[in-house]
Amino acid sequence: MPLFQRRRRPALPAEVRAAVPLEGAESVLAWARDDLTGGHVVATTHHLAFVGPDGALAWRRPWHEAET
């Protein structure tokens, strides 16, 4: 048994992935489902996006506009 195992999480749902436009070599880095709203937050190499529970892109911002 390996000492360190990679835990695989489910893939980003296809309808969420389709709602987030990727430009050029941009790719998805991480994503999470919001338990409160049912939407998905998606982090790409150039943008941060939120896809609502209906599968529509609610907003998409470049990283330099993201605030804590």
- Is the distance from CB of 41 to CB of 50 less than 8 angstroms? yes
pTM of the model: 0.82
- Is the distance from CB of 49 to CB of 41 less than 8 angstroms? yes
Per-residue pLDDT tens digits for 13-42: 999 999 999 999 999 999 999 999 999 999
> Residue 50, class by beta-carbon neighbours within 10 Å (0-12 exposed, 13-18 middle, 19+ buried)?
middle
Coil, strand or helix: which one is 30? strand
